Structure 1
Amino acid sequence: MRSVVLVLLLLTASTAGCLEVPIETCEGTDCFPYDSSLLNDLLSNQDSLDVLLMASQNSKLRVKSTTTYETETQQGEIHWDVAKDDEKNLRSIAMRFNLGTIAIDTEVIDGTEKTNFRIGNVWHEGRDQIPNYKDPFYDLAQQATEEPDGIWPSFGFDTTTILGLDWMITHDLQSLEQVASADNETHTIILVLKGMPPEIIGVELYGNDGSTFVLKIERGDEVDLALQSDLPRAPIEFNIDQALQLGDGSTIWAGYVPLGFTSEIDAAELTFHVIESESTIAEFNLADLSSNQTDSNGDWWEFIYWDYSGDGYFSASDYYEIRTNSTLDVEIRTFDNWANSWTDTQVQS
């Protein structure tokens, strides 16, 4: 009898859309639709909205959250959009922050040798010749643990804080989607559930103080990550350390590639330039490892690049050194041959 009723309801759903009549009385999480009691049972399980658990169970996952709030003088918003496709080794991390006149809007898609990133509405292509794909949800969780005072996605939501409410629930049998709404003393709460057994895929909180929190979850074929081609190439971000005067009268620029430099770049794609009055008087391609040169003024220049990390690429902790007996007022800049741009040039948004 249950199967006959289900068939009839499926036929009805194709024409009627949203249904308000339950299939039949049942018990347990496999019921559809939920009533208020069953929903509260689901919310009592702290794992019912565990993003890290979802990440471990889904190769394709996207979680978006938007938080808005008001201060005495202005309104703020923080939006996160984090997605992954383990099959393609691609992940995307996007963040938008607005507070008064301050606005930040960025996105990075990485995990392979080619990367895309966006500043505002402008996309660029980057590269990483030894990509190290990491699940973005676990990666961000680890960073948040190490730097608890940073700005991180607000993906955590304790469902037990909204237990015991009197939920009004509507449902659509064709899509297996349910929408539940309720009010407590401080918020109007909307939950979106989908599937069989139902799983929470959306949370909306609307505070009496004007604040809002919206969380949305997509899985499987709903998640589509892809890299764009033919984008403007962006140079790496790298600056030479300040010069030091040595006791013998020579000058040295030396330092290590910062540990925060997360890419690996072919050293042949980078060239140090010694610039005086906007003209290059000496240059050194890092693939040469070392070089001794004499400029047109008769001064000597000694260049050294040491692949300290031993990975065969320009990467974090590598060492460089530039020495000279020249007393000219010069600057040392790095040219990214792949991007045809200086590495200290700010990418346009």
Structure 2
Amino acid sequence: MGGSFLRGVVVKGAVTTINRVQFSERIVKSALMLLLAFSLLFVGCLDSFGSGEIDVVVAKPGDAMTSAQVEAYLNDASIMNLTAMAASEEQFRVEIYSKETNDGESMELTYIIGKDEIAQLYETGMAIESDMVGIEYTAIQGASKDINVRMGNQWLLARDEIPEYVDPFVQLSEVEEDQSSGGDENLPDLTPELDSLNLDLTGFDWTVTIDVPSLQQVATSSNNTHSIMVEFLEAPARLHELEINSNDGNEAFKVTIVWGAEVALSLNNSYPRTSVLMEMEKDISLGSSQDIIVFSGVLTANHIQDVLMDEIELRIGIEDVQTEEFNYFHSMLLTNLTSNVTDAYGDWWDVEWADADGDGIVSSGDSYTVSTNSSYGWDYEVRFYDYWADAYEGGPLPGFELLFLLGAVLFAASFRRTFHY
């Protein structure tokens, strides 16, 4: 998938629009902590569990957990499994936060994933904040044609003519499994070794307090380097929040888990519209005759926004380097399929759009071909205009898998960190 959703990156002191961000090695290393912790919490099978199966917590309602019970809970892999937690809930949300400071420069990362099976919607998001750059992205989508996208503080409305609800927790597990097994030969294996994060919380003396009316329990502990806070809700106890902070203030890690009506999702169709993101492989080359130039492109399997052909127009032109305005001399609605024109220099241009499955939808496998005998053809480019959004294509909507892979790239395998508390 492309990196177009990184448009709208906020650089401290200025706002710029870019297509790709080159992250420094320090950012890569700092960010790995988040993915490792995230992956750790997703290990295990997809089998759901009920509260009655958590046999490590035997305290009666109104009684605080003992230190041994807290330790047993946190080191039970069948409980500390977000996929299994999510499988037992219709409405579920996880937010994972990480902070690291090196040489006075801090890096903060947040990953959000949530689902609402009742509304048939799911949420994915990521935020990266450092001294130099800030990125915030959230998407809410599902069984509705409407999609809400947030870039920074700006909410936008996107669309998909063939919507589908997926459970993001199941999908994340499938992506992780596919990556770890090398299922996609076109992608590097970006899933880190799970044993590279050793979150072994044994041997701690936990102090536990309880608010009897609400059944909220807070367990705290510390050693020479870190302090830990764990919050449980309900009875039997369920993990709500886990927070780890280094005593020097340079490191922080926090997982927040919420379930029930509090995480209900909804869509707003009154936001400003944003254009479709057309995931396309493009090429420009000489035809069989050396005096013919051929522009071509095909929508890849990563194209996830299916939109109506009569809303998209193919345009041929040149961008003004000073005004950045795209000046086009020929256009064709995709529903017309073919067109030809002679330009002001007497050169001909043939245009063709191929609707691969003949459904009238811009979808994976569709392609275009533009041929010309113009000797200036190399100076031109093909762009697509989205009339629904009144803007050129390139909106900020990546797929769920792209969010995961971006995270994996950021948190990539060159850095390994082991925590011993």
Q: TM-score, normalised by structure 2?
A: 0.68
Structure 1 pair 344/179, CA: closer, same or farther in 2 (3 Å)? closer
Structure 1 pair 148/52, CA: closer, same or farther in 2 (3 Å)? farther
2:121 — aligned with what? Answer: 90
Q: Does residue 333 in structure 1 map to residue 383 in structure 2? A: yes
2:202 — aligned with what? Answer: 163
Structure 1 pair 33/73, CA: closer, same or farther in 2 (3 Å)? closer
Q: Distance in 1 between matches of 2:224 and 2:216?
A: 27
Q: Distance in 1 between matches of 2:75 and 2:281?
A: 55
Residue of 264, 271, 278 corresponding to 1:224: 264
SS of residue in 1 equivalent to 2:363: coil
Structure 1 pair 345/86, CA: closer, same or farther in 2 (3 Å)? closer
Higher-Rg structure is 1
Q: Distance in 2 between matches of 1:250 and 1:29?
A: 79
1:244 — aligned with what? Answer: 285
The range that moved more, 106-115 or 256-265, is 256-265
CA deviations 1:116-173 (Å, max 9, x no partner) are: 111111111101111222212222333344265379xx9x9977x2134221111111
Q: Residue 44 of structure 1: CA displacement? A: 3.9
Q: Distance in 1 between matches of 2:336 and 2:111?
A: 43
Structure 1 pair 102/73, CA: closer, same or farther in 2 (3 Å)? same
- What is the aligned length? 317
Q: Residue 258 of structure 1: CA displacement? A: 2.8
Q: Distance in 2 between matches of 1:93 and 1:143?
A: 14
Q: Distance in 2 between matches of 1:225 and 1:247?
A: 54
Unpaired segments ≥5 residues, structure 2: 1-56, 180-187, 321-325, 398-421
SS of residue in 1 equivalent to 2:362: coil
Q: Distance in 2 between matches of 1:172 and 1:338?
A: 53
Structure 1 pair 345/199, CA: closer, same or farther in 2 (3 Å)? closer
Unpaired segments ≥5 residues, structure 1: 1-26
Q: Distance in 2 between matches of 1:345 and 1:84?
A: 23
Q: Distance in 1 between matches of 2:343 and 2:77?
A: 69
2:71 — aligned with what? Answer: 40
SS of residue in 1 equivalent to 2:267: coil
2:317 — aligned with what? Answer: 275
Q: Distance in 1 between matches of 2:75 and 2:104?
A: 38
8 Å CA contact 2:149–2:396 kept in 1: the answer is no
The range that moved more, 270-279 or 187-196, is 270-279
Matches within 5 A, 1:203-218: 203-209=242-248, 210-218=250-258
SS of residue in 1 equivalent to 2:282: coil
For 1:50, the aligned partner's letter is N
SS of residue in 2 equivalent to 1:55: helix
Q: Residue 292 of structure 1: CA displacement? A: 3.5
Q: Distance in 1 between matches of 2:176 and 2:115?
A: 18
Q: Residue 73 of structure 1: CA displacement? A: 4.3
Identity %: 26
Q: Residue 274 of structure 1: CA displacement? A: 2.1
Matches within 5 A, 1:81-230: 81-111=112-142, 112-145=144-177, 146=179, 149=190, 161-209=200-248, 210-230=250-270
For 1:28, the aligned partner's letter is V
For 1:214, the aligned partner's letter is K
2:96 — aligned with what? Answer: 65
For 1:116, the aligned partner's letter is N
Q: Residue 196 of structure 1: CA displacement? A: 1.1
Q: Distance in 1 between matches of 2:189 and 2:238?
A: 29
8 Å CA contact 2:109–2:128 kept in 1: the answer is yes
SS of residue in 1 equivalent to 2:69: helix
Q: Residue 242 of structure 1: CA displacement? A: 4.5
1:307 — aligned with what? Answer: 355
SS of residue in 2 equivalent to 1:40: helix
8 Å CA contact 1:63–1:216 kept in 2: the answer is yes
Q: Distance in 1 between matches of 2:158 and 2:214?
A: 40
Structure 1 pair 164/279, CA: closer, same or farther in 2 (3 Å)? closer
CA deviations 1:63-121 (Å, max 9, x no partner) are: 11111111224111101222110111111112111232022111111112110111111
Q: RCO greater where, 1 or 2, for CA within 8 Å and sep 6 or more?
A: 2
Q: Distance in 1 between matches of 2:203 and 2:370?
A: 69
8 Å CA contact 1:168–1:180 kept in 2: the answer is yes
8 Å CA contact 1:186–1:208 kept in 2: the answer is yes
Q: Distance in 1 between matches of 2:355 and 2:312?
A: 13
Cα RMSD (Å) of the superposition?
2.8
For 1:342, the aligned partner's letter is Y
2:58 — aligned with what? Answer: 28
8 Å CA contact 1:92–1:107 kept in 2: the answer is yes
8 Å CA contact 2:274–2:395 kept in 1: the answer is no
8 Å CA contact 1:189–1:204 kept in 2: the answer is yes
Q: TM-score, normalised by structure 1?
A: 0.81
Q: Does residue 54 in structure 1 map to residue 85 in structure 2? A: yes
Q: Residue 43 of structure 1: CA displacement? A: 3.0
SS of residue in 1 equivalent to 2:78: helix
Structure 1 pair 346/226, CA: closer, same or farther in 2 (3 Å)? closer
8 Å CA contact 1:257–1:319 kept in 2: the answer is yes
